[in-house]
Structure 1
Amino acid sequence: MIRVFLLISPFTLFLLTGCWDIREPQKMHYVYGVGVDYIDNQYVIYLQFINFSNIAKSEKTSSDATPSEIAHAKGKTIEEAIYKLYRSADQEIYWGQMAYLLLSEDALKSELANSVLDTFTRFRETRYQIYVHCTSDSIEEILLVTPILNKPLDNSKLSTPLNTNTLEAFTKPVDLRKLIIGLNEPSHEVALSLVSINKNWVTEKENPSTETAINGVCVISKDGFKGAITNNLVGGNRWMTGQKNLGNITFNIGDNESNYITVDIEKLNLEVLPIVKGNQVTFEIDIDFEAILNGFKGNLNVNELEKGIAKKVKEEIKTTYEEGLNLDVDIYRLSEYLYRDNVKMWKRIENDGKIPLTKDSISKITINVNKILSGRKVFQDSVGE
């Protein structure tokens, strides 16, 4: 029996599972955000490494723990810049936690945008759920911004943009998957969220803090950066994305120029109908939603409110559309609506995926306010028919 055991035991060692190739989590640096700039004919890559010590813990965490660190390097290609960072890293760098990609306007120009996207779509550790944003501000400063009240970095606006969409859907977040689809379908243009630095947050009077803000969109195409639409000029974009909850609008009521009212909009439905007449195509836009009144004074008339809401929404849609035309951008992707509805007509008039558009291409905008809610009734002021 002893001889049998001696013969078998060496072979059983090969059947045991080992940990010789394990990747120990505590011995890796985790890339959470990536910024890409293009300066003096070189790519500048910024890697934001997240500190997981303050995340997913029930006990109190140390406020002194650094939430993240930023590393940057330059190279003739993105890959060269990344490998320069590898040489200075003291642990293995893991890309599977990457949550967002921030691109400068210079990095989006010309053929550079396709090169940047190609790098991250080909790499096996990155995912298609990565959110993509653009900025004209300093990428380094934006990556150094941390959420207010010492919240974990995985609650930042760049990595979880849908967190605030229930409050206001100012723009529609775009991930890597949607970006690739949008660039490959008519009109081969995509509007990314434009990120800036907001210095209106204050933690202490002598120590103001900063936060990131979405204040517009930048449009890219297969050929590169097309331009940006910011602030009040981009308001119409929210009505045309098909999102249900959109935030609010403010408009004037009556003859008094100082009598403004703010209305919340929700449960929106959008329909865009291409109208083909010969070789001409126009579009009719039909939008219906519910409105909720915030604070107001006096007794309001429903018809007056509906007219005011419809007028404001139409103005925003037209303003943003015309800003897009100034940039040679099909901001509402009207070309795709025709492509889906009448592909034969689209093929007849399209040029590089886009159809010719003018200010008159939107022939009709119909706004239907299905219901106006006045909220909780606390005062005697009311909304009447």
Structure 2
Amino acid sequence: MTKLYRKVILVLLSLGLLTGCWDGKTIEHMLYVSGLGIGYENEELVVYARFIELENVGKQEGGGGPSEDKPIWIAKGTGKTFDIATDDLYYTSQLPISWAHLGEIVITTEALKQDGIINEVMDVLNRYSETRSEVILHATKEELPLVAQGRPILGTSTWYSKVNNPYPVFRQFSLVRPITSRQYLIDQEEPGKVLDIPMLSLDKSKWQRGEEPHPTVEFGGSAFVYKGKFKGSLPVEEERGIRWMQEESQRVPLYLFNSKKDYASIVFTSPSVDITPEIKGEEVTVSVDVKVKGSIIENPFYQDEKTLEKDAEEEIKKQIKDTYKYALEKNIDVYQFAYHVYKKHPEKFKELGIEDKDWLKPETFENLNVQVSIVSSGKLKINK
């Protein structure tokens, strides 16, 4: 009996050691930030934090109603610096706040115009142990509370929205490549490299839920930043040339209109881009070669392959040149020609002081060659 008694005592003592952490917290006892909006008002930073409702993250299987019926919870903080503004959220928070699930940041152009603010934000994100390095960056011209009204569709969580995860839509319809906080920190150190931050706007006309308008966030152009300074922005219609100049583009549609009865649609994938700067004395010129392969999506007037290739080449050239012209009016190095000068002629880059002056001219972009190859006509022959 004595041995049995001792074994029982040992078992009871060992169970006492397995009771877990005394200060452990269950997931429902935390608040999880999924997105941040950063603005600038009355000489202070304003931060809007959007929180995840955990029941909306997983797949909904009956009960509770669709997530669009649930309100979006947003808290506002203000302060002289980004850290003070985020700490301001703690004064009214009812539970501890977790930053480990921060997925995206939207910063207003008004905030970007304040020199150094975006670098201040990146510094905090890079230092703080909870935040990840793959936070998606966006800019906007709209008021942040309005952007926050944009809702995902079909009951999906904001966690899986285009704002938090833009890559699936970018692979299907490539406009401006997404940028993360990690990529920003890397690229801002490169001489001559202008950062292109996708912009968001709010659309209230294209989607509806039942008979009610359903506001959604849409791509609204780009904001350009160099060394933490805002260089300007371009709307969507003025920056279509960027799609052909970024090798990350995976699927780019092109619509051809030669006359009222003569048109076609072609989808191109993964452009190959070669940028070659040349220096003669103090004059710098840049030549660009672009190669793309495409598949015909629409050809109702049975244009032949050579005609379509020629028309596509001319239209792509026009889009690339037009974007350069619009950007040049705002002194934006939209195709990062200065960075290519630095990579291929670093000594001349410093000698000519290219980093510190507006050196781009219309004639700087000297030569542009576009080569189009149609590799597929879909399920039909090209003339059928």
TM-score of the pair, normalised by structure 2 = 0.89
How far the C-alpha of 1:32 sits from its partner, in A, is: 0.3
How far the C-alpha of 1:207 sits from its partner, in A, is: 1.0
Q: Distance in 2 between matches of 1:317 and 1:350?
A: 26
1:87 to 91, 94, 99: 91
CA contact (8 A) 2:272 2:291 kept: yes
CA contact (8 A) 1:252 1:308 kept: no
Q: Distance in 1 between matches of 2:296 and 2:331?
A: 37
CA contact (8 A) 1:67 1:153 kept: no
Number of residue pairs matched by the alignment: 377
CA contact (8 A) 2:296 2:374 kept: no
Q: Distance in 2 between matches of 1:171 and 1:26?
A: 37
Instruction: After superposing the two structures, state which structure 1 stretch, 359-368 or 14-23, moved more.
Output: 14-23
Amino acid at match of 2:383: S
CA contact (8 A) 1:285 1:365 kept: yes
CA RMSD of aligned residues (A): 2.8
CA contact (8 A) 1:134 1:193 kept: yes
Q: Distance in 2 between matches of 1:79 and 1:230?
A: 31
Q: Distance in 1 between matches of 2:52 and 2:213?
A: 23
Matches within 5 A, 1:298-317: 298-317=301-320
Q: Distance in 2 between matches of 1:207 and 1:348?
A: 61
Structure 2 stretches lacking a partner, 5+ long: none
The residue aligned with 1:280 is: 283
Instruction: After superposing the two structures, state which structure 1 stretch, 274-283 or 150-159, moved more.
Output: 274-283
Matches within 5 A, 1:172-321: 172-204=177-209, 206-253=211-258, 256-321=259-324
Q: Distance in 1 between matches of 2:254 and 2:186?
A: 31
Q: Distance in 1 between matches of 2:371 and 2:66?
A: 53
SS of the equivalent of 1:284 reads strand
Q: Distance in 2 between matches of 1:259 and 1:268?
A: 26
1:25 to 24, 27, 33: 27
Matches within 5 A, 1:47-86: 47-57=49-59, 59-60=61-62, 62-63=64-65, 66=70, 68-86=72-90
Instruction: After superposing the two structures, state which structure 1 stretch, 35-44 or 340-349, moved more.
Output: 340-349
Q: Distance in 2 between matches of 1:353 and 1:180?
A: 20
How far the C-alpha of 1:41 sits from its partner, in A, is: 1.0
Q: Distance in 2 between matches of 1:49 and 1:245?
A: 32
Q: 1:68 to 1:307 in 2, by over 3 A?
A: same
Q: Distance in 2 between matches of 1:377 and 1:178?
A: 42
CA contact (8 A) 1:350 1:356 kept: no
How far the C-alpha of 1:291 sits from its partner, in A, is: 1.6
How far the C-alpha of 1:15 sits from its partner, in A, is: 7.7
What is the identity percentage for the equivalent residue pairs of Structure 1 and Structure 2? 25
How far the C-alpha of 1:372 sits from its partner, in A, is: 4.1
Instruction: After superposing the two structures, state which structure 1 stretch, 129-138 or 104-113, moved more.
Output: 104-113
Q: 1:14 to 1:334 in 2, by over 3 A?
A: farther
TM-score of the pair, normalised by structure 1 = 0.89
Amino acid at match of 2:36: V
The residue aligned with 1:45 is: 47
How far the C-alpha of 1:247 sits from its partner, in A, is: 2.1
1:96 to 75, 93, 100: 100
SS of the equivalent of 2:255 reads strand
SS of the equivalent of 1:68 reads coil
Amino acid at match of 2:31: H
Amino acid at match of 1:374: S
Q: Distance in 2 between matches of 1:208 and 1:32?
A: 25
1:114 to 119, 138, 150: 119
Deviations 1:93-144 (A, max 9, x none): 0000000000001111132332233232222211110011000012112223
The residue aligned with 1:139 is: 144
How far the C-alpha of 1:244 sits from its partner, in A, is: 4.1
CA contact (8 A) 1:187 1:353 kept: no
How far the C-alpha of 1:180 sits from its partner, in A, is: 1.6
Amino acid at match of 1:272: I
CA contact (8 A) 1:54 1:62 kept: no
Amino acid at match of 1:79: D
Structure 1 stretches lacking a partner, 5+ long: none
Q: Distance in 2 between matches of 1:138 and 1:295?
A: 39
Instruction: After superposing the two structures, state which structure 1 stretch, 58-67 or 282-291, moved more.
Output: 58-67
SS of the equivalent of 2:76 reads strand
Amino acid at match of 1:99: G
